Amino acid sequence: MAAIAASRAGARIVVFDHLDRPGAKLRASGGGRGNITNTLAPEEFAQRFGPSGRFALPALSALSPEALRGLFDELGVPTQSLDDFHVYPVSNRAEDLLRALVTECARLGVEIRPSTRITSLEIEDGKVVAVAGESFRHLAHQVIVATGGSGYPRLGGTGDGYVLATQAGHTLVPPVPALTGLVTEEDWPRSCAGVTLRSTRIWIDIAKWRRQPAEGSLIFTHEGVSGPAVLDISGRVARLLRERSPIPLRLNLTPGISSSLWLDRIEGWYRREGGKAIQSLLARTIPRSFAAVVCGIAGLDHISRAANLDRVAREKLVETLTGVPLLISSTEGFTKAMVTSGGVATAEISSKTMASRLARGLYFAGEVIDVDGPSGGFNLQWAFSSGWLAGSSAAK
């Protein structure tokens, strides 16, 4: 996207890619379907990036979600939003997005050099003058580092951009894996591997973080927990794991049902359906296989009858349903991280141009910068928007 924007503005562009073909991560995005953005307006979109939102807003305004959809439509890839939020190509093929970008680069005369790894920047008198690899040197008036982060190394996440940034004197916010699964100390999530909860709320059970929950579906895995709700807090958990371990989480299994409503429901079972097993009654709302686990966490036998629950037991069950405790020992790491949290410090980059404040002629775009958002098209939109702004600015 940076190459297209710069070339449309009249610059001569060479793209170096260390893989044998460009765009491996884009091809794999959204499960191969390509969730490129969503329907939020730029201001609300930026807010979802948390503290980095203010920095991201100029780029998101330069190429908004609506403008991105218009650009892909122009390139022959119309998009749609069937749920009025997530935006995918009508074809449901991320490959079509990549093909359109590469075709546009070819039309504009952009030269793409695959299997070419840049290992160093050459800087003279505070200005970038060239890039170099193992056996070559290429002169350049402007250089855009759009290398992504360290996630999914097999798709190109090498962290090379961090090396180049530090060569120019930039500070790195230590990169950690984000949008990745979490590994629990408890064994019971593994016994539920494959069980999905369609609507949950999950939060870090530390005072500073309790008011920043994530919501969405959750899936239990052979490692612990994953799914959209978990992915969205995984970066925060990963950063906290640098300081302490384990990290306590709480999981509300049914955020649409308050504690008082649960208590009323369970007391109703106690009065009217006392002969039925609690597990069977819970299975009306949560998967039956998981209902047995919930009973165990609450200190109940899975065959316990509703009539046998005293007030203390009912309150303990409600406490469990609205806040299952989990201890996180690690993440699933960069090998499965869709995004990297951390990177080049935003204070050292102009948000209006994506230009380095430390080296003239140097620009950054995308995940290599310390900007990351939740799942749902946020990170691809940021990549496209920041690439567009960096390319436009560099060409000027």
Model confidence over 83-124: pLDDT tens digits? Answer: 999 999 999 999 999 999 999 999 999 999 999 999 999 999
Give 132-174 pLDDT, tens digit per residue.
Answer: 999 999 999 999 999 999 999 888 899 999 999 999 999 999 9
pTM > 0.75: yes or no: yes
Cα 153 to its chain centre, rounded Å, is: 16
- Whether the per-residue pLDDT at 259 is higher than 80: the answer is yes
What are the residue boundaries of the structural domains of the chain, listed by start?
Answer: 2-175+340-395, 182-253+325-332, 259-322
**SS3 call for 176:** strand
Give 298-345 pLDDT, tens digit per residue.
Answer: 999 867 899 999 999 999 999 999 999 999 999 999 999 999 999 999
pLDDT at 303: 77
Q: How long is the chain?
A: 396
Give 170-185 pLDDT, tens digit per residue.
Answer: 999 999 999 999 999 9
End-to-end CA distance of the chain: 16
Q: What are the structure tokens assigned to 354, written together? A: 């994506």
- CATH architecture label of 2-175+340-395: 3-Layer(bba) Sandwich (3.50)
The C-alpha atoms of residue 61 and residue 43 are separated, in whole angstroms, by 8
- CATH architecture label of 182-253+325-332: Beta Barrel (2.40)
pLDDT at 302: 67
Contacts of 309 (CB under 8 A, 6+ apart): 266, 270, 278, 300, 317
Fold adopted by 259-322: Helicase, Ruva Protein; domain 3 (1.10.8)
**Intrachain domains 2-175+340-395 and 259-322 with the same fold:** no
Residue range 6-18: mean pLDDT, rounded: 97
